[in-house]
Amino acid sequence: MAEPMLKPPKVAISPLDWMRQNLFSSWYNSLLTIVVGYMVVTSVGPLFTWLFFEATFLGDEPSDCVGTGACWLFISQRLNFFIYGFYPDEFQWRVDVMFLLLAVCFVPQFIERFPGRKWFGLFGLTGLPVVGYFLIPGGNFGLEIVESSKWGGLMLTLILAYIGIIASLPIGILLALGRRSEMPIIRGICVVFIEVWRAVPLITVLFMASVMLPLFLPDGMNFEKLMRALIGITLWQSAYMAEVIRGGLQAIPRGQYEAADALGLGYWKKTGLIILPQALKMVIPGIVNTFISLFKDTTLVLIIGLFDILGTVQSTVTDPAWQNVAIEGYVFVAFCFWVFCFGISRYSQNLERKLDTGHKT
């Protein structure tokens, strides 16, 4: 842990020896190396040419794109739409404030020695949604109301994923605990909830939320489409989360429960102090996996008419003013998703290392 550790001595190997050992150790390895090498050279070269060397970065008009490479003007010209959707220009500072807060809360999480980074993270999980709740829709503190139908782009993707993630974790924990409860009614409710939601595709949930639900609700009681989608995503996600966490709960040895019991800790203290910290730590990879897949699944809101980042790009690539920019658009979307998902993944690895107390069960 805190003690300095010496790394095992490095054995010096010349590049030639390394190649002989790793790339050309036998005739079929040599063949494989040559084939793969050929494929890399023939594909990576043109890719970079298209992405950077022949690409157009500067200009204002679609007609400025003359090279054979990518037309990044399409992205830079429509970036505002891709990030904010139809959010009015004059209020976009509110979204920017949220982006900034998001960065302030989570960038320190990657810096090991950042002072008080725990508090930044905690604020990100609790305070940030509250700030966002007042700032983005407006309506309070003299802020103009911006209807949720105008939200879109990356901002909408992040709202859906962020709320889905931080709301589904606690609900999932409660469901997992409930499913292992000794009280039959609670257990029954949790089992039914989990099995119903988990057996339904997200698309169906979103359809139900946007099309069917209003039919069942009494007149006048109708809340926004985005809110309905959010609730649907959260409940659907928490069913998955519950099962991941249940896996962790079941992996905790019985002795841990008994030791906590013997010390006189009641159910909630035992669960909160002993069982959950260990169970959650154990299933970090599973939790993060679920988060990442949720992040990407948010693109499905397109089918109920919400324009997330993929939706905004997709609706723009058909713009007749721009010719053949679909690839650029999708590459941009893929890159955005990759940045966030890779970030989540790196952070979880970071967390796993930090929480490793050298215990093997």
Partner 1 sequence: MGNTMTDQTQATGSTGPVPSQKDDSSSAIIRVESMNKWYGDFHVLKDLNLSVRQGERIVICGPSGSGKSTFIRCINRLEEHQQGKIIVDNIELTDDIRHIDTVRREVGMVFQHFNLFPHLTVLENCCLSPIWVRKTPRKEAEEAAMEYLERVKIPDQANKFPGQLSGGQQQRVAIARALCMKPKIMLFDEPTSALDPEMIKEVLDVMIELAGSGMTMLCVTHEMGFAKTVADRVIFMDGGEIVEEAPPHEFFTNPQEPRTQKFLEQILDH
Contact 341, 288 (CB under 8 A): no
Among the listed residues 9, 116, 320, 358, the single contact to partner 1 using CB under 8 A? 358
Instruction: State the nearest-atom distance from the C-beta of 245 to partner 1, in Å.
Output: 16
Is position 264 an interface residue for partner 1 (rule: CB under 8 A)? yes
User: Residue 278 or residue 312: which is nearer to partner 1 going by CB?
Assistant: 278
Instruction: State the nearest-atom distance from the C-beta of 256 to partner 1, in Å.
Output: 6
Q: Binding to partner 1 (CB under 8 A): which residues in 267-306?
A: 269, 273-274, 277-278, 281
Among the listed residues 88, 255, 285, 305, the single contact to partner 1 using CB under 8 A? 255
Is position 5 an interface residue for partner 1 (rule: CB under 8 A)? no
User: Residue 88 or residue 255: which is nearer to partner 1 going by CB?
Assistant: 255
Instruction: State the nearest-atom distance from the C-beta of 242 to partner 1, in Å.
Output: 22
User: Residue 224 or residue 258: which is nearer to partner 1 going by CB?
Assistant: 258
Among the listed residues 19, 32, 79, 259, the single contact to partner 1 using CB under 8 A? 259
Window contacting partner 1 (CB under 8 A); options: 44-52, 261-269, 300-308, 310-318: 261-269
Residues at the site binding partner 1, with contacts judged by CB under 8 A: 1, 253, 255-256, 258-266, 269, 273-274, 277-278, 281, 355, 357-361
